[in-house]
Amino acid sequence: SKGHGALTDATLIKDTKAAYGWTADPFTIPADIKADWESIGARGAEARRQWETRLAAQSDRKRGEFTRAYALEAPKKLAGVIRNLKKAASAEAASMATRKSSEKVLAAVNPVMRETVGGSADLTGSNNTKSDDMGVFDTDNRKGRYIYWGIREHGMAAAMNGMVLHGGVRAYGGTFMAFTDYARPAMRLAALMRIPTVFVMTHDSIGLGEDGPTHQPVEHLAISRATPNTHVFRPADTVDTAEAWELALTSKETPSVLSLTRQGLPTLRLDHKARNLSAQGAYVLAKATGKTRAVLIATGSEVSVAVQARELLEAEGIGTRVVSMPCMELFAEQDEAYRRKVLPAGPVRVGIEAAVRQGWDRWLSGERGRDAKSDFVGMDSFGASAPAGVLFEKFGITAQAVRNKVKALLG
């Protein structure tokens, strides 16, 4: 065990070489070992030649698809598929959990993006990560594109990284957000290695309900956001979810974490816009009537709470803006002019998220906000076992609580 931290001195080197019968001088490689080493480089030459012959025999279309996938370029059809899905979602205005929204996106995307390989750590029915066209990869079907990983979050995440490093594959896998703890070493390495693995994390708050605090993530969003070179998406509805997937599947150097709900959410983006608003990290969902006196900043399931709070405040003559912030990291990358346009100095600010506050203060008291004129509605403890609606009331993540915070800040 001392070898992990102790310095290696001359005596230890001498004794170790004697124990292994190593007689070569320092910094030299014996000729027989060098020859074996060099032969390894040619070992796959014939297999490589055969592979190149097979590739050359393919049609121009198939070779083009192969080259595109290896270059991490999205198929031309992807943008249109996402745009049509967004338009339909805005028109239907259905209430839907974002994990189900994600399932709808995958059902549309996987058939046109044949390089996707999906999976789940024994939670396929809960994560909604399998589309019907994929087929299961197993001993009888090597063409399957969906993998049942079993209860192996770390193994799944590490294997997905390996696929992406190999090239030609867009790998995604799902588990519960609370179980990012098990996958985290591989998630961190994806960020460090600058590869675009996609981690689908559902049941992302106390909104999952009766499974209780062991399964209810409160600190996991902050941990994921604290990881450099990681995009954490927390979409508010199906439209946001489609945009998050588009960004995740077109990323070339940054892994994505999709934080998705178990509980149903209303469609908030009712006016279709072809442009991907989530690409800027945050956007104004609802403007204030008259002068903006308060800005409510929310993510995911709490954006609807912000919208309800705005209605209460506007009814009292308090002009209130709602900002949806699906990806803090992308918002931080925008130029200062855009950030100031979305979050103007002057109005009071309240952040709303069913998670701990860490990571929020840049957008509340920072970036021209003020400590005395900002507050947060969220979690400062573990959750509890009860239906989602009961829990949001218990922990004070409600429109009325937001309204009260704003009124207190305004004085």
pLDDT digits (tens, 9 = 90+) for 216-241: 999 999 999 999 999 999 999 999 99
Residue 277 CA neighbour count, 13 Å, CB half: 21
Q: Are the CB atoms for 102 and 200 separated by under 8 Å? A: yes
Distance CA 106, CA 373 (A): 42
Residue closest to 232 by CA, chosen among 196, 256, 213: 256
pTM, to two decimals: 0.94
Q: For the chain, give the mean pLDDT.
A: 97
Averaged pLDDT, 164-178: 98
Give per-residue pLDDT as tens, 310-334: 999 999 999 999 999 999 999 999 9
Helices (H) then strands (E): counts for the chain: 17, 11
Cα dihedral: 125, 129, 134, 136 (round 10): -50
Q: Six-digit token pair at 139?
A: 């001993």
pLDDT of residue 301: 98
Q: Give buried/exposed letters for 200-239 (b at 16+ CB in 10 A, else e).
A: bbbbbbbbbbeeeeebbbbebbbbbbebeebbbbbbbbbb
Residue closest to 168 by CA, chosen among 49, 63, 81: 63
Q: Six-digit token pair at 246?
A: 């588009």
Task: Given the residues 46, 92, 103, 153, select the one marked as catalytic.
Answer: 153
pLDDT of residue 4: 72
Cα dihedral: 326, 330, 331, 333 (round 10): 180
Q: Are the CB atoms for 326 and 234 separated by under 8 Å? A: yes
Q: Are the CB atoms for 354 and 384 separated by under 8 Å? A: no
Q: Six-digit token pair at 279?
A: 């690409």
Q: Six-digit token pair at 334?
A: 């925008």
* Choice between 2 and 316, residue whose per-residue pLDDT is larger: 316
pLDDT band at 1 (very low <50, low <70, confident <90, very high): low
DSSP string covering 321-362, please? EEEE-S-HHHHHHS-HHHHHHHS-SSSEEEEE-SS--TT-HH
pLDDT of residue 7: 76
Residue closest to 175 by CA, chosen among 224, 231, 119, 216: 119
Residues contacting residue 363 through CB under 8 Å, at least 6 positions apart: 297, 325, 328, 331, 343, 349, 351, 369
153 catalytic residue (yes or no): yes
Averaged pLDDT, 27-45: 92
Specify the DSSP element, H or E, that contains 201. strand 198-202
Distance CA 40, CA 42 (A): 5
What is the Cα 391 distance to its own chain's centre? Answer: 25
pLDDT band at 9 (very low <50, low <70, confident <90, very high): confident
pLDDT of residue 290: 95
Q: Six-digit token pair at 93?
A: 């205005």
Domains of the chain: 73-259 (3.40.50.970), 280-410 (3.40.50.920)
Distance CA 205, CA 265 (A): 13
**Other Cβ atoms closer than 10 A to 250:** 17
